[in-house]
Amino acid sequence: MLRFGERNPGGEYRPRPSVYAVAFDVRGRVALVSEDDGFYLPGGGIEAGETVLEALVREIREECACESRILDALGESTESSSPFCGSLHSRPTAPRHRARRQG
């Protein structure tokens, strides 16, 4: 079984733009998304017509059930995801941002 981020040898990959955040609250606690195989930063794919920041605010809202304010960019990383809806995705440069919980 592949772990998140591992490539399937011989698999076909296609670009899937995405974005992730190191999101924290006023006490400095960092938000993590819990999945069966571990914990991850909130974020995900950028939908058609969305900007990077719009996608990030939406992903934090969906995964952490809170509003957020994007503070600044932290950098980019390279990753590949395991099968998603029957296809494999490559995220060649997924931006990482710092965000703060609002409200």
Taking the domain 19-102, which CATH number applies? Answer: 3.90.79.10
Q: Alpha-carbon distance 14 to 90, whole Å? A: 5
User: Tell me, what's the pLDDT at 92?
Assistant: 53
Residues 42-57: pLDDT tens digits? 998 889 999 999 999 9
Query: How confident is the model at residue 76, as a pLDDT?
Result: 78
- Domain range list for the chain: 19-102
Contacts of residue 5, defined as CB under 8 A and 6 or more positions apart, other chains included, come to: 79, 80, 81
pTM check: above 0.95? no
pLDDT of residue 89: 46
pLDDT grade for 59, boundaries at 50, 70 and 90: very high
Residue type, 96: R
